Amino acid sequence: MSEGHHRVNGATDGVLENGSLDANPLLEDHIEKTRYREYLEESVRVGSLAGPISSQAALVFLSSLVSLAFAGHLGGLALSQAVLASSVYNITGAAVLLGLASGMETLCGQAYGARNYGALGIVLQQAVVISTAVFLLILALWTQVHHLLLAAGQKKDIVEGAVMYLLLSAPALYCYVIAECLKRYLLAQGVVTPATIVTACSAALSPLYNWLLVDYFEVGLAGAALANDAVQATVLVGLTGYVIWRDHRLQGTPLQTWPGWTTQCLHGWWPYLKLALPTVGACCLEWWLYEGLILIAGWFPNADVAVAAMGIGFNTTALTYTVSTGIGGAASTRVGNELGSGRPLRAARAAHTAMVLVAALMLCIVAVGIALRDVWGYLFTDDPNVIDVIEIILPVVFFSELGDGLNCVCGGIMRGAGRQLLASILNLITYWGLGLPLASVLGLHYGLGVQGLWWGLATTTTVQGLAMCATVLCFDWDKEVKSAAALLSEQHDALGPESEALLQPAEAVDP
């Protein structure tokens, strides 16, 4: 690209950000001609981040299915124990800790855009310390969870095996959340390939780990839990090794993001927690709703068929949701970087591009899913009753992903802008104010069964997706830039004057 072209684009961005478009008609004409190219370039930026993130999410999902498959080969009781343990693991562990890690997306993304590179390392340390403390609280809860499960009416033989599986899976949960912190630390810097490679290696090793522990050494159900520990430990070791190597290479340069371990990470938790806690609430509200629908399915006359069909439907959406997860993560990073850089129009462009991309991809997925409705059920079961239900509900299942995809990406945009509380409020209103009552009425009162539950869920995700889109489209991006600057300033002040040298913008650092 020529030097002259660089100057034109630089001038364009400056005029756009300052709002002086009318003062230069020639520049206005140039902007109109290049608008398509700018959005195309932004699509490439979003896609280059989204592809690896989606791949990581899909690989993690497939790894979890491998462990469940090995548990299922041990018999129906073992599978029930593993499924119950996985449910508790997700709703009381993964949902909480994944939400806590989300605070990094805002603070690291905006700090990197503002060239305040030293803040990334401090935020990473804060996330690790906070996640460790909360993990210990979750582990304490898990030691008593058998009482809660028995009180909820679960069978004693299932509970005993599930609790054993759950406690043995505790190392996997801790490795998982620390690895997610490292991924967000790298993602804020636009680095996604190493995490994808490490995740792919761990997924490839998952069948081997399970075969060795479940079959070869005949450890049984406990072996499946230990295999999951090994998979997550592989990811953590690989990512930690890469981060240490990369940070060592950047040490002493203006791009250094790791200031070394510092007690400053023990200060200034409130700016982090006020971003992370609403996301914890949003994650829990969503995951608990899905568990609630499984519970409702268990009340139908054909409960075994209904629960199996709901489970297949949720696994289907979990697989397609990996696409939305990738675009949502990319949107969070791009919006956070641009807001931190003080470029509102570029932030808006990134947000709108991500919304269009996910809508287009979700429409393609819906078309493919409907085309495969006659054969999809056979991938999971050979029970003709369950397959018949799957053929009926599958179009609705895939239709629900349209709104869910928009919700996921808009949630990523809001995380990038530090608007997690707003997203959490919208989740509360739609999922629990509309979703659960509507699904219950359609499924139970009107006797639509599983189909009614999915129509309730599809309606909810559509309303929520449209509400989230409308909210993002109403953003005043100039104000969002000011909010980002205020948030970084608040974090800086909370850390105290001792951190002054660590938080200097890159321009003030002597390379």
322-336, 370-384, 437-451: range with lowest mean pLDDT: 370-384
CA angle 318, 199, 372 (to 5 degrees): 35
Burial of 267 (0-12, 13-18, 19+ CB in 10 A): middle
Q: Is 122 part of any domain?
A: yes
Same domain, 403 and 478: yes
Contact 46, 350 (CB under 8 A): yes
Contact 169, 229 (CB under 8 A): yes
Same domain, 241 and 356: no
pLDDT tens-digit readout, 3-33: 333 333 444 444 444 444 455 666 666 666 6
The distance from CA 421 to its chain's CA centroid, rounded to whole angstroms, is 16
Same domain, 86 and 193: yes
The CA distances from residue 353 to 123, 226, 297, 349, in Å, are: 28, 42, 38, 6
Q: Is 511 part of any domain?
A: no
The arithmetic mean of pLDDT across residues 395-419, rounded, is 95
**Taking Cα atoms as reference points, which of 353, 487, 358 lies closest to residue 415?**
487
- Domain extent for 285: 268-492
**Taking Cα atoms as reference points, which of 160, 163, 432, 449 lies closest to residue 298?**
449
Residue 510: pLDDT over 50: no
Residue 1: pLDDT over 50: no
Task: Label residue 300 left, alpha or beta by phi (over 0 means left) and psi (-120 to 50 means alpha).
Answer: beta
Q: pLDDT exceeding 70 applies to what percent of the chain?
A: 90
Contact 441, 449 (CB under 8 A): no
Helical H runs in 73-169? 76-88, 95-101, 103-113, 118-142, 145-151, 156-168
Domain boundary among 201, 231, 265: 265
Question: What is residue 25's predicted lDDT score, i.e. its pLDDT?
Answer: 62
The arithmetic mean of pLDDT across residues 296-313, rounded, is 85
The arithmetic mean of pLDDT across residues 453-460, rounded, is 95
pLDDT tens-digit readout, 373-382: 888 888 877 8
Same domain, 77 and 162: yes
What the block records as the tokens of 338 is 């641009």
pLDDT tens-digit readout, 55-102: 999 999 999 889 888 988 888 788 788 888 988 999 999 999 999 998
Q: Is 452 part of any domain?
A: yes
Residue 508: pLDDT over 90: no
Same domain, 200 and 139: yes
The arithmetic mean of pLDDT across residues 384-403, rounded, is 92
The domain total for the chain is 2
Question: What is residue 299's predicted lDDT score, i.e. its pLDDT?
Answer: 86
Same domain, 81 and 101: yes
Q: Is 510 part of any domain?
A: no
Domain boundary among 265, 296, 323: 265
Q: Is 16 part of any domain?
A: no
Q: Is 259 part of any domain?
A: yes
Question: What is residue 502's predicted lDDT score, i.e. its pLDDT?
Answer: 55
Residue 46: pLDDT over 80: yes
Contact 240, 182 (CB under 8 A): yes
What pTM value is reported for the model?
A: 0.89
**Taking Cα atoms as reference points, which of 224, 107, 242 lies closest to residue 179?**
242
Q: Is 379 part of any domain?
A: yes
Question: What is residue 12's predicted lDDT score, i.e. its pLDDT?
Answer: 45
> Exposure pattern of 183-207 as b/e (b: 16+ CB <10 Å)?
bbbbbbbebbebbbbbbeebbeebe
Round to whole Å and give the CA distance between 272 and 103. 6
pLDDT tens-digit readout, 158-178: 899 999 999 999 999 999 999
Round to whole Å and give the CA distance between 221 and 239. 28
**Taking Cα atoms as reference points, which of 453, 438, 324 lies closest to residue 393?**
453
Question: What is residue 501's predicted lDDT score, i.e. its pLDDT?
Answer: 52
Q: Is 289 part of any domain?
A: yes
What amino acid is encoded at 318 in this protein?
A
pLDDT tens-digit readout, 107-120: 999 999 999 999 99
Question: What is residue 499's predicted lDDT score, i.e. its pLDDT?
Answer: 58
Question: What is residue 417's predicted lDDT score, i.e. its pLDDT?
Answer: 97
Residue 490: pLDDT over 60: yes
The distance from CA 73 to its chain's CA centroid, rounded to whole angstroms, is 30
Round to whole Å and give the CA distance between 483 and 488. 9
Round to whole Å and give the CA distance between 397 and 400. 5
Contact 231, 205 (CB under 8 A): yes
Same domain, 197 and 246: yes
Question: What is residue 441's predicted lDDT score, i.e. its pLDDT?
Answer: 95
What the block records as the tokens of 21 is 């478009």
What the block records as the tokens of 141 is 């809860």
Domain boundary among 210, 239, 265: 265
Same domain, 259 and 272: no
Same domain, 110 and 126: yes
Same domain, 275 and 240: no
99-103, 116-120, 127-131, 282-286: range with lowest mean pLDDT: 282-286
Question: What is residue 15's predicted lDDT score, i.e. its pLDDT?
Answer: 45
Round to whole Å and give the CA distance between 457 and 434. 9
Residue 130: pLDDT over 90: yes
Same domain, 151 and 298: no
CA angle 134, 139, 143 (to 5 degrees): 150
Q: For the chain, how far is it from start to end, CA to CA, in angstroms?
A: 27
Same domain, 338 and 212: no
Average pLDDT, the chain: 89
Round to whole Å and give the CA distance between 113 and 414. 16
pLDDT tens-digit readout, 180-216: 999 999 999 999 999 999 999 999 999 999 999 999 9
Round to whole Å and give the CA distance between 183 and 388. 41
Instruction: Report DSSP state, residue 379.
Output: G
Contact 263, 207 (CB under 8 A): no
